[in-house]
A and B are shown apart, each in its own frame.
Chain A
Amino acid sequence: MTKLRIQKRLFVLLAVGPAFAGYMLFTLYPNLMSAYYSLLDWNGISSARFIGLSNFKRMFGDEYMWAALRHSLIYAVTVPLLILVISLFLAYLLTNRGYRESAFYKVLFFFPNVLPMVVIALIWAFIYDGNFGLLNSVLKGLTFDYDGYYWLGDEKIAFWALIPPQVWGGVGFYLIIFMNAMIAIPKSLYESAILDGATHFQRLTVITLPLMNGIIRVCLLFMVLGIFKTIDIVLILTNGGPAGSTDVIGLYMFNLSFGKGVAGGGMHTYGYASAIGMFLFVILVGAKLLIDKLIPNKQVEF
């Protein structure tokens, strides 16, 4: 081997090596391991037993898994759309209307994003409380008497009541991203549009949105994937109840592997939970491909 070739190899090793090693150790290895775990009957204590695809077979017949997945799917459609529309709208307002308090609003809207999801969940637990909840007080002020009505206690309402906290918690972050994307669009485009007599709405749909296409696409991807993995807010607000009406796939998996006898029997069934995890992985890949398909990646240069 010539000296040059050795040098080249060494260079590749140094350049790719550390990142690749980290990726293998902390991403690929655990992922492969959980693929392996999904073939086991294993509770973390006794020795694992290889049971082939039994976990998957069980999973496809598991009504709780399907119910949880259905809930996750509905959230994955509604929550990102709401976040997208609201944060785009607010971003447009704040960038294009020169409010004197714009900077303050920016902080205000971003504020929920500073809070951990746990705190957001607890705040909303108090908003929805039947006895001293903010929501009931406000409604009472508007002469609707809901005193003693627990919003999260009703099977039909609780599911939808979990949407506002998730949206509220997500808007701030994307607002900042969208605002910066909007600011990056050259002013000259708008100036000429205004000279041509374009309305606000036209400027939004013809200039702003198309130029932000790439960013919106990535953000939507993050939102959808994030929603599929939601555990925290549901865990705290309803723990999947009432009657399983708010159980989501992540929470179901969590309770199977780490449940403390609350929603699960307190048994750690790592094998089965891993199988659900694998299925979730497939769903996430599917969601990603679907988003790619629905929103074509049109690169725009400006």
Chain B
Amino acid sequence: MRTIIHPAANDFLFSLDCEADMIGRESDYYHNSGGKTKADRFLSQEVVGLMMRRAFRPSAAIKFRVGGTHMRIGQKGLAVTLIVMLIALSLVGCGSNNAKESQTGAESESPKASTPAASGEASPSEAKVYPENGLPTDQEVTLKFGFWEAGAGREAIDFAMKSFSEKFPNVKFDTTYSPDIFTIIGTKIAAGDDKDMFDIFSREGVPDVNSLVENKKLEPLEDLWDRELLDTPGKKLKDAVMDGVFENAPRINKTSYFLPDTSWAGGLFFDKTLFEKNGWNQNPQTWDEFTALLETIKASGIIPITFPGVYSTYLEQFSFAPKEFELAEMNGKLDSFTSGYRVFAQPVYTSPESIEKWNRIYELGKKGYFPKGVAALNHTQSQMQVLQHKAAMVSTGSWVENEMKDSTPEGFKWGYMGVPFRTSPDQTLWLASGLNGGMYVWANKPELNKKWAKEFALWLFNVETQKISAAKAGAIPGRNLSEYPDASNALQDAAKEVSKYAAANKGRFETSFREVTLTDPAYNQSTKTYIDAIPAIAEGKQDPKAILEKAEKYIETAIAAQK
């Protein structure tokens, strides 16, 4: 699955935190990435190297002057001493490795698991169980939780944890919040220490989920779809979610490993007030109408579309990625395109759909519809341009309202549109979306921990938690809240606009996920090739054709390496 990340879906201070965090942990990275020698390390190496050379030089001896007497130690003595230390240390190293392995193998040593694993059908000896799930009330469980603290903030998840612990007082959370949680998770995974690993963690940005599943590191959650909701007994989860969430939830080998409790939509976000004032078309139906709108906006001296060039994927990922599906459907080959897309069937970048998509971006670029020098803009700056009416629309996601709420001027009303590639309003309009929220449950953990983790995943679909995350995090609820007007009114404007727009335009949401992961470095190079080129394409300075061909060559290498 291609991980969908909006690396900087957080406000200015957040990004500051995030970067600080990143840099702060640079030294940790070193141990994994290797070879990045620090100057001081370099010097100390030099010193020790000198020492060693001296120690092992024939007939050399080191003189130590202690209290006026000279101690002379032959080269052999020192060498032997050092070798003994080396062996001792390596034994220590091996020892700790072995210990780690034995932990992994026998998790039953952990006190939590030593108690009989509580199964749904409680054994008769266990009297005290919760009626909702049959889990014991008297066994304390602390869930280690790695939470991605991004534009959505932590208020909503804090509410969910608090209410969960109130309902099930024996369950506590030990939460690590970080805007850069993927790095922490990635490092923990690489370290391979199950005991130290989170029980549950945010799924955004977790690299290479397919490998994790292949190696049985993640707990399957498919059975939760058939569970009754914790706040609405009698209603199964799969019947309570929004249309399409159950059917389209990303699965690996037909199994869900996370439950998308919220979602986001990508596209072009704008100020309705500005559009109304200028009489601009807020809902262009076709590509021609869309380009006419951009021309009108440009003629009025405002930049039609902006995006963060520093994270240039914002343009492609949030507004144009699903257009390949739209083109395929218009040409009547949606099915074959989709099945190929999911598994990286070649051509990936030079498919007719992909070339057409990039050519249209280039076409807009040549007409000057994107800002000059866009490569310098980060996400906050580009979104700021829309708030200040320097640009009319910004390519980003529905979290933008929450992210920019502190800077939004009075009278500003968020509006939303997709980029229509279609030629007639009868055709489907494909929109970028991501299923958000949800979390993975680590498989190598005590049974009871996993059970409670799964209960918590279910808890996030409660009306109250859904309402709070819509109101406080700007999320689009995963649960169908139409029966709960109070909760659906809690949606923020941008999220409401997205639903309205999709309903009015035969909108279809596409998460652009892949069922295959390419792990060869050449895959990174292929994405780097086109991502680096996006600002130049959007400024009309770079014909996408050569770039796509180059990217295709890289991905060909990556696919070949996979086999």
Using Cβ atoms and an 8 Å threshold, which residues of chain B touch A253? Answer: 33, 36
Q: Which of A100-108, A169-177, A233-241 contacts B (4 or more CB under 8 A)?
A: A233-241
In the complex, are the beta carbons of A232 and B33 less than 8 A apart?
Answer: no
What's the least CB distance linking A221 to chain B, in Å? 7
- What's the Cα separation between A291 and B20 when bound, in Å? 32
In the complex, are the beta carbons of B64 and A11 less than 8 A apart?
Answer: yes
In the complex, are the beta carbons of B29 and A118 less than 8 A apart?
Answer: no
- What's the Cα separation between A261 and B205 when bound, in Å? 8
- What's the Cα separation between A9 and B42 when bound, in Å? 28
Select which of A11, A235, A263 is within 8 A of B532 by beta carbon.
A263
Asked if B35 is an interface residue, CB under 8 A from chain A, the answer is yes
Using Cβ atoms and an 8 Å threshold, which residues of chain A touch B73? Answer: 8-9, 12
| Mask of B359-379 contacts with A, CB within 8 angstroms, 1/0 | 000000000000111111110
- What's the Cα separation between A259 and B22 when bound, in Å? 11
- What's the Cα separation between A155 and B385 when bound, in Å? 22
Asked if A242 is an interface residue, CB under 8 A from chain B, the answer is yes
In the complex, are the beta carbons of B34 and A31 less than 8 A apart?
Answer: yes
Using Cβ atoms and an 8 Å threshold, which residues of chain A touch B183? Answer: 258, 260
**Can you name the residue of chain B whose Cβ is closest to the Cβ of A24?**
B89
Using Cβ atoms and an 8 Å threshold, which residues of chain B touch A46? Answer: 208, 211, 214-215, 519
In the complex, are the beta carbons of A274 and B528 less than 8 A apart?
Answer: no
Using Cβ atoms and an 8 Å threshold, which residues of chain A touch B85? Answer: 13, 17, 20-21, 24
A residues 227-250 near B (Cβ < 8 Å) are 229, 231-232, 235-236, 238-244, 250
Select which of B44, B385, B528 is within 8 A of A23 by beta carbon.
B44
Using Cβ atoms and an 8 Å threshold, which residues of chain B touch A263? Answer: 528, 531-532
Asked if A180 is an interface residue, CB under 8 A from chain B, the answer is no
- What's the Cα separation between A232 and B523 when bound, in Å? 24
Using Cβ atoms and an 8 Å threshold, which residues of chain B touch A45? Answer: 189-190, 207-208, 211-212, 215, 217
In the complex, are the beta carbons of A266 and B217 less than 8 A apart?
Answer: no
- What's the Cα separation between A13 and B388 when bound, in Å? 68
- Asked, given contacts A45-B190, A240-B532, whether A8 binds B71 with beta carbons under 8 Å apart, the answer is yes
In the complex, are the beta carbons of A277 and B33 less than 8 A apart?
Answer: yes
Using Cβ atoms and an 8 Å threshold, which residues of chain A touch B64? Answer: 11-12, 15
| Mask of A211-239 contacts with B, CB within 8 angstroms, 1/0 | 00000000001100110010110011011
In the complex, are the beta carbons of B208 and A242 less than 8 A apart?
Answer: no
Which of B33, B35, B311, B536 has the most C-beta atoms of chain A within 10 angstroms of its own C-beta?
B35
In the complex, are the beta carbons of A260 and B205 less than 8 A apart?
Answer: yes
B residues 512-529 near A (Cβ < 8 Å) are 517-528
Q: Which of A73-81, A124-132, A191-199, A202-210 contacts B (4 or more CB under 8 A)?
A: A124-132
Select which of B20, B45, B214, B520 is within 8 A of A27 by beta carbon.
B45
Q: Which of B74-82, B159-167, B325-333, B430-438 contacts A (4 or more CB under 8 A)?
A: B74-82
Using Cβ atoms and an 8 Å threshold, which residues of chain B touch A43? Answer: 207-208, 211, 519
Which of A47, A117, A257, A258 has the most C-beta atoms of chain B within 10 angstroms of its own C-beta?
A258
Using Cβ atoms and an 8 Å threshold, which residues of chain A touch B66? Answer: 11
What's the least CB distance linking A31 to chain B, in Å? 7
**Can you name the residue of chain A whose Cβ is closest to the Cβ of B84?**
A13
Select which of A243, A272, A281 is within 8 A of B521 by beta carbon.
A272
Select which of A44, A264, A276, A278 is within 8 A of B528 by beta carbon.
A264
Asked if A64 is an interface residue, CB under 8 A from chain B, the answer is yes
A residues 140-160 near B (Cβ < 8 Å) are 148-155, 158
Which of B312, B385, B521 has the most C-beta atoms of chain A within 10 angstroms of its own C-beta?
B521
In the complex, are the beta carbons of B34 and A33 less than 8 A apart?
Answer: yes
What's the least CB distance linking A68 to chain B, in Å? 11
- Asked, given contacts A20-B85, A253-B33, whether A270 binds B190 with beta carbons under 8 Å apart, the answer is yes
**Can you name the residue of chain B whose Cβ is closest to the Cβ of A54?**
B561
Q: Which of A34-42, A89-97, A294-302 contacts B (4 or more CB under 8 A)?
A: A34-42
Using Cβ atoms and an 8 Å threshold, which residues of chain B touch A130? Answer: 373, 376
Using Cβ atoms and an 8 Å threshold, which residues of chain B touch A121? Answer: 19
Using Cβ atoms and an 8 Å threshold, which residues of chain B touch A226? Answer: 39
- What's the Cα separation between A258 and B185 when bound, in Å? 11
Using Cβ atoms and an 8 Å threshold, which residues of chain B touch A111? Answer: none
Using Cβ atoms and an 8 Å threshold, which residues of chain A touch B526? Answer: 265
In the complex, are the beta carbons of A225 and B39 less than 8 A apart?
Answer: yes
- Looking at chain A, what size class is its interface with the partner chain? 35 or more
Which of B313, B375, B525, B542 has the most C-beta atoms of chain A within 10 angstroms of its own C-beta?
B375
Asked if B533 is an interface residue, CB under 8 A from chain A, the answer is yes
Select which of B26, B311, B535, B542 is within 8 A of A153 by beta carbon.
B535
Asked if B186 is an interface residue, CB under 8 A from chain A, the answer is yes
Using Cβ atoms and an 8 Å threshold, which residues of chain A touch B190? Answer: 44-45, 268, 270
Asked if B347 is an interface residue, CB under 8 A from chain A, the answer is no
In the complex, are the beta carbons of B36 and A158 less than 8 A apart?
Answer: no
| Mask of B80-114 contacts with A, CB within 8 angstroms, 1/0 | 01100110010001000000000000000000000
Using Cβ atoms and an 8 Å threshold, which residues of chain B touch A129? Answer: 376, 381
What's the least CB distance linking B16 to chain A, in Å? 6
In the complex, are the beta carbons of B186 and A254 less than 8 A apart?
Answer: no
**Can you name the residue of chain B whose Cβ is closest to the Cβ of A260?**
B7
- Asked, given contacts A269-B521, A277-B34, whether A264 binds B375 with beta carbons under 8 Å apart, the answer is no
In the complex, are the beta carbons of B77 and A9 less than 8 A apart?
Answer: yes
Using Cβ atoms and an 8 Å threshold, which residues of chain B touch A276? Answer: 35
Asked if B37 is an interface residue, CB under 8 A from chain A, the answer is yes
- Asked, given contacts A45-B190, A241-B312, A266-B207, whether A31 binds B525 with beta carbons under 8 Å apart, the answer is no
In the complex, are the beta carbons of A260 and B182 less than 8 A apart?
Answer: yes
Select which of B23, B48, B373, B521 is within 8 A of A58 by beta carbon.
B521
In the complex, are the beta carbons of A270 and B23 less than 8 A apart?
Answer: no
Asked if A166 is an interface residue, CB under 8 A from chain B, the answer is no
- What's the Cα separation between A12 and B16 when bound, in Å? 48
In the complex, are the beta carbons of A236 and B48 less than 8 A apart?
Answer: no
B residues 185-243 near A (Cβ < 8 Å) are 186, 189-190, 205, 207-208, 211-212, 214-215, 217
- Asked, given contacts A11-B71, A239-B311, A261-B5, whether A116 binds B35 with beta carbons under 8 Å apart, the answer is no
| Mask of B1-32 contacts with A, CB within 8 angstroms, 1/0 | 01101010000000010011011001001111
In the complex, are the beta carbons of A265 and B35 less than 8 A apart?
Answer: no
Using Cβ atoms and an 8 Å threshold, which residues of chain B touch A83? Answer: none
Using Cβ atoms and an 8 Å threshold, which residues of chain B touch A33? Answer: 31, 34
Asked if B41 is an interface residue, CB under 8 A from chain A, the answer is yes
- What's the Cα separation between A121 and B474 when bound, in Å? 30
What's the least CB distance linking A120 to chain B, in Å? 11
- What's the Cα separation between A17 and B85 when bound, in Å? 8
- Asked, given contacts A21-B85, A44-B186, A149-B373, whether A125 binds B35 with beta carbons under 8 Å apart, the answer is no
In the complex, are the beta carbons of A256 and B23 less than 8 A apart?
Answer: no
- What's the Cα separation between A45 and B188 when bound, in Å? 10
Using Cβ atoms and an 8 Å threshold, which residues of chain A touch B334? Answer: none
A sample of 21 inter-chain contacts (CB < 8 A) reads: A24-B86, A35-B34, A38-B34, A41-B519, A43-B211, A45-B211, A45-B217, A118-B19, A118-B20, A131-B381, A150-B376, A153-B373, A154-B373, A232-B22, A235-B19, A242-B309, A242-B375, A266-B2, A268-B186, A278-B35, A281-B35
Sort A-B residue pairs by CB-CB distance and give the 7 closest, nearest first. A34-B34, A277-B35, A153-B373, A150-B373, A242-B375, A44-B190, A153-B376
